Chain A
C-alpha cells in the first residue's frame, strides 16, 4: 500500500509537468486547430532560460524551503517572460501569415519552427549540446522530506505540484472569468463568427500563445530545477510528445481534458516504471524499459476507442 501511494505521488509530480505543457497544446489547438509542434521547444527554451537565470541571480543553496521559494519565483518569472516573447514571435512571423492557408501548410511550418529552434539551440554559441544541470534552488536532502507513515514526500514534489496547481487555477480564472477568456472561448467555438462579433481574433490568438508559452516555461523550470534532470536541446521532444498525447487522451481542445490527460499520463508512466521485473523462465520482461513506448500505445488505444478523447466532444465534420 505504501509503495502504491509512493508511486502515485511520483506520478502526480511528473503529471503536473505534463499538465502544464499539455494545456498549451490544447489551447492553441482550440483556437487555431493547429498542432503547435514548436510548443515542446518553448518548454525546452524555458528550462534553459531558467538555468541561465539561476546564474544571473547567483542562486545558492538555502537552508529553508521558504528561502528557496523566494529564489525560485524570479527564475520562474524570467523564464515565463522570455517564453511569452518567444511564443509571440513564433505566432507573429510563422503562423499569422498562414492563417488562411491549408492546415497542412501550417502544420509543416510548425514542424519547421520546431526544428529551427532545436537546431539553433544545439549551436555552440546558443545552448550547445552538452547537458546542463540546475543548481540547487530548494534545499534537498533528508531534511527537506516529509515522512508520513511509510511514504516519503520531498518538498520539491510538494512545491512542484502546488506551483502547478496555482498556475492552473490562474489559467482557469482567466479563461472562465475574464473578458479575454470569454473571447478565447468564443474564438475556439467559432473562429469566423467570433471575428464578425467584433472580437479581435488576432489578439486573442496571440494571447493564447503567450499563456501557453508561459505555462510551458514554468513547466520547464519546475522540471529542470526540481527533478535534477539534465537539460539538453532535444529534451523537449520526448516531453512534448507525451504532453501532446496527454492532451489528445484528455480530448484535444478541452482544458479540463488536458489536466486529466496529463495526470493520467504521469501516473501511468510512474506505475510502469515502478512495476516489478517479470522473470519466468525464458520470459524476461522489464516494464520500466518500455515506459516511452507505453505512452503511444495508450494514444493508439484511445484513438481506437474514443477518438475525441476522454473529455472531448465528438463534432461531426461539416461540409
Chain B
C-alpha cells in the first residue's frame, strides 16, 4: 500500500521537472544546458549498464550498440510515423520551448522511447540468449561484435540515412523532431535510478546478485542462472534503447559512428570507475566523466580531446590495479548513512 504522501512527492517532482524544463533552455547558457542533457543521458546509460555489469556480474561492452538500436528505432518511428500518428508536430521538428512544447512533444516522445526500448530489448534477447549460456567473457566479444553488425546494418540501410547519418526523410519532408527536453531526460533518469534501487531489494534483484557472487552456488539453490542473466541483459538493453531514443531526439542528427565501440567503452569506464554494482557510483561518475571533458576542452582548448582516450584508458588500468572495486565499491552514497555517521559519536 503506497502512502498518499508518496503520490504528493511524485507529483511535486514531476512539477519541478516540468518547470525546470520550461525555464532552463531559456535562461541557461546553451553549452551548459547541452552538457546537462548529455550527462542525464549518460546517467541513464550508466545505470542500465550497471544492471548487467554490476548487479549480475556479466560483462557487456556493446552498450552503445543498444543505444544505437533505440536511437534509430525511435527516430524512425517519429519520422515515418509522422503523417499517420504525429501529424500535430511541425514537419521541420522545431517545437520550440515553453509549456505548449511539453504537451505537444509528450505523446511522440513516449511512443518513440517505448519503441526504441522494446526493439533494443528484443535484440538484447536474441544476442544475449546464446552468449549468456556460456562463460562471461563470451558475452564481451559477442556484444562487441554486435556493435559491428549494427553498424553494417545501418550503413546498408538507406531509409535511415546509411553512413550519412539520419536526420529525417527528404521525400516526406519530415525531420527528426526536437522533442527531448529536460523533463524527459531527467524523468527517465529518475525512473531508471529508482528501478535499480528497488531491484536490489526484490526477489529478481537478489537473484542477480546471487549470480554475480557465485554462479554455481546460485544454480545449486535453484536459480535459473541463464534466465536471470538474460533478464538483466534484456532490461539493461531496454533502458539503453530508451536512452538512445532520447539521444536521437535531442541531437536530431544521428551518426552511426557516434555509437562505436569507443562510446561503449566510455560507458564501461563510467560504470567501473563508479563501482560495479553501485548505483550512486554510476550516477556520480557519469556526471563527472561527461562534464569533465567539456570543461577541460573549454579551459584547455580543443587539443585536449586527443588525450581523452589515453587518459580514460590509463584511469581504467590504474583503477583496476589499485582499487578494482571502483570508487564506491558496491556501497551506496546515502544521506541516511551520512546522518548516522554523524550521530554515532553522540550516542556512544
Say if the beta carbon of A89 comes within 8 Å of chain B. Answer: no
* Residue from A35, A107, A115, A248 in contact with B309 in the complex, judged by beta carbons closer than 8 Å: A115
B145 touches A296 (CB 8 A): yes
In the complex, the number of residue pairs spanning A and B with C-beta atoms less than 8 Å apart equals 120
Interface locus among B74-82, B185-193, B285-293, B310-318: B310-318
B147 CB to closest chain A CB (Å) equals 9
B307 CB to closest chain A CB (Å) equals 8
What residue in chain A is nearest B316 (Cβ atoms)? A112
B145 touches A241 (CB 8 A): yes
Report how far A317 CA is from B306 CA in the complex, Å.
44
Say if the beta carbon of A176 comes within 8 Å of chain B. Answer: no
Number of A residues near B (Cβ < 8 Å) is: 45
B115 CB to closest chain A CB (Å) equals 23
Say if the beta carbon of B268 comes within 8 Å of chain A. Answer: yes
A111 touches B61 (CB 8 A): yes
Report how far A288 CA is from B137 CA in the complex, Å.
30
Task: Please judge, given known A-B contacts A97-B321, A290-B156, whether A107 and B59 are in contact too, CB under 8 Å.
Answer: yes
What residue in chain A is nearest B324 (Cβ atoms)? A105
Residues of chain B contacted by A122 (CB below 8 angstroms): 306, 309
Q: Which of A101, A112, A244, A295 has the most CB of B within 10 A?
A: A112
Residues of chain A contacted by B130 (CB below 8 angstroms): 300, 303-304
Residues of chain A contacted by B134 (CB below 8 angstroms): 303, 307
A241 touches B152 (CB 8 A): no
- How many chain B residues sit at the interface, stated as a range, is 35 or more
A292 touches B148 (CB 8 A): yes
B1 CB to closest chain A CB (Å) equals 40
Say if the beta carbon of A82 comes within 8 Å of chain B. Answer: no
B3 CB to closest chain A CB (Å) equals 40
Task: Please judge, given known A-B contacts A116-B317, A293-B153, A317-B216, whether A248 and B137 are in contact too, CB under 8 Å.
Answer: no
Task: Please judge, given known A-B contacts A104-B57, A119-B309, A120-B310, whether A112 and B320 are in contact too, CB under 8 Å.
Answer: yes
A299 touches B137 (CB 8 A): no
For window 205-247 of B, CB contacts with A under 8 Å fall at 216
Residues of chain A contacted by B85 (CB below 8 angstroms): none
* B 81-95 to A, binary, CB cutoff 8 A, 1 in contact else 0: 000000000000000
B220 CB to closest chain A CB (Å) equals 9
Say if the beta carbon of B55 comes within 8 Å of chain A. Answer: no
Say if the beta carbon of B133 comes within 8 Å of chain A. Answer: yes
B145 touches A299 (CB 8 A): yes
Say if the beta carbon of B146 comes within 8 Å of chain A. Answer: yes
Say if the beta carbon of B261 comes within 8 Å of chain A. Answer: yes
Say if the beta carbon of A98 comes within 8 Å of chain B. Answer: yes
B148 touches A241 (CB 8 A): yes
A110 CB to closest chain B CB (Å) equals 9
Task: Please judge, given known A-B contacts A35-B137, A108-B316, whether A123 and B310 are in contact too, CB under 8 Å.
Answer: yes
Listed in ascending order, the chain B residues whose CB lies under 8 Å from chain A are: 57, 59, 61, 127, 130-131, 133-134, 136-138, 140-142, 144-146, 148-149, 151-153, 155-156, 216, 261-262, 265, 268, 272, 276, 306-314, 316-317, 320-321, 324
- Beyond A98-B321, A297-B149, 17 additional contacts (C-beta under 8 Å) are A94-B321, A103-B136, A107-B59, A109-B316, A109-B317, A109-B321, A111-B316, A112-B316, A115-B309, A115-B316, A119-B307, A119-B308, A238-B148, A292-B151, A296-B145, A300-B145, A303-B130
21 contacts between A and B (CB under 8 A): A35-B141, A94-B321, A104-B57, A109-B321, A111-B268, A116-B313, A119-B311, A122-B306, A123-B306, A123-B307, A123-B310, A237-B261, A245-B141, A245-B145, A248-B138, A289-B155, A292-B152, A293-B149, A303-B134, A303-B138, A319-B216
Shortest 4 CB-CB contacts between residues of A and residues of B: A119-B309, A296-B145, A119-B310, A112-B316
